Amino acid sequence: MTTEKLDDAATAIVGQKVLPGREQEYEAWQEDVNAAAAHYPGFLGAEFSRPTARQPDWTVVYRFDSIAHLQAWINSATRQRFLDNGRTYFDGPATQQVLSGGSRPADPLVTVVVTHRVHPDHVEDFLDWQRRMSQEESTFDGYRGTELFRPVEGLQDEWTTLYRFDSAEHLDAWLTSAKRQEVLAEGRKFNDFQLRTIDNSFGSWFAFDENGRQARPPSETKSAVAVWVGLYPTVVLLTLALAPLGLPLWAGLLVGNLLSSFIMSFLTMPYYVNRLLRRWLRPPPDAPRTRTNLAGLGLVAAVMAFWAVVFYFVTTQIWTLP
């Protein structure tokens, strides 16, 4: 696991239009690209999302622990070979923004990415104008923050601004507002910009480690096993808790599934499973793989055997369900 602070991390956001009918091939290709990125030093994670009504491109996010490591991947011969092979899927050139540092959003948000080319002589004016823009944004409902990223030498010449709202409706209210048009008019010399929307925050149960830092996600197999470890006790305990209500099967499952989703997301996974299995889900880089996997699977077997024994005695000796 990386020991770099989140403030040192680097993110690349890549948008790509895909030719109609080539989506499945592109998706398989992108998964292979992400898998290749995972072998590069400093890799923390890679995710991609399909186009939506608000997000017309396929959007890929790469996260590395430093600009140097991100640059090594972006400029690598490996990535270039993938791009050469994948050009038959692309509908036009990709867009790319590189962000250095920054904090993660605490909840799912709608994010707008804006890039500006700024002449070196106009940087102070641009910063003053951005502060004015942020002040006006902050007065609108649903505003959740703005981050400004300087150009990244060797990767990107543009300034990049991220601003986030809690819903598409609140974002649209700002984008179409007279106040925004007024501020844009004040910064006419900075009107050469690109704007695009990302309508998710690329979050998941496994996106961050126990210290809140973004970390490389475990494999799909490990993730599935980890969910099983958390799901079994959660579902059984909820079943026992709901049993006295005497709900019919369809209603009990309806309520139980809703409650288990919230409990898994906000309690079981972050505070039980991710902490219990952290050395297996995200072993240190120098940990022996075979020994780590055997120890992790042994811990999973022991934990599940413990819950099975507990629930056997509870449901047969202490509390018999109807």
pLDDT (tens digit, 9 = 90+) per residue, 248-302? 888 888 888 889 888 988 788 888 888 899 888 877 666 788 888 899 999 999 9
How high is the pLDDT of residue 174?
87
Domain(s) labelled CATH 3.30.70.100 in the chain stretch across: 6-198
Q: What is d(CA 269, CA 224) in angstroms, rounded to the nearest whole number?
A: 12
How high is the pLDDT of residue 104?
45
pLDDT (tens digit, 9 = 90+) per residue, 2-27? 333 445 678 888 888 899 999 899 98
How high is the pLDDT of residue 318?
79
Q: What is d(CA 321, CA 308) in angstroms, rounded to the nearest whole number?
A: 16
62 neighbors 70 (Cβ within 8 angstroms)? yes
How high is the pLDDT of residue 9?
75
- Any alpha helices (H) in the chain, and if so which ranges? 23-37, 67-74, 77-86, 123-137, 168-175, 178-186, 220-242, 249-263, 274-276, 278-281, 289-313
304 neighbors 229 (Cβ within 8 angstroms)? yes
Write the DSSP assignment of 218-238 as a string of letters: PPHHHHHHHHHHHHHHHHHHH
Nearest to 9 by CA among 62, 49, 60: 62
User: 10 Å Cβ neighbour count for 312?
Assistant: 10
pLDDT tens for the 322 residues of the chain, in order: 333 344 567 888 888 889 999 989 998 898 899 888 888 888 888 887 888 766 778 888 888 888 888 888 988 888 888 988 888 998 887 777 777 665 444 345 677 778 888 888 888 888 888 888 888 888 988 887 777 778 877 777 778 887 778 777 888 888 888 888 888 888 877 766 666 666 554 444 444 444 434 445 567 788 889 889 999 999 999 988 888 888 888 888 888 888 988 898 878 888 888 889 988 887 766 678 888 889 999 999 999 999 999 999 888 887 765 5
How high is the pLDDT of residue 8?
64
Q: What is d(CA 170, CA 110) in angstroms, rounded to the nearest whole number?
A: 9
DSSP letter, residue 184: H
CATH of 6-198 among 3.40.50.300, 1.20.58.220, 2.60.40.1180, 3.30.70.100:
3.30.70.100
User: 10 Å Cβ neighbour count for 79?
Assistant: 17
234 neighbors 268 (Cβ within 8 angstroms)? yes
How high is the pLDDT of residue 208?
40
Strands 143-149 and 95-100: unpaired
How high is the pLDDT of residue 106?
39
Tokens 């490990």 -> residue: 222
Tell me how far CA of residue 88 lies from CA of 19, 22, 58, 67, 75, in angstroms: 8, 9, 15, 30, 21
**Encoded tokens for 164:** 């986030």
What region, left, alpha or beta, does residue 142 occupy, with left being phi > 0 and alpha being psi -120 to 50 degrees? left
How high is the pLDDT of residue 195?
67
How high is the pLDDT of residue 299?
95
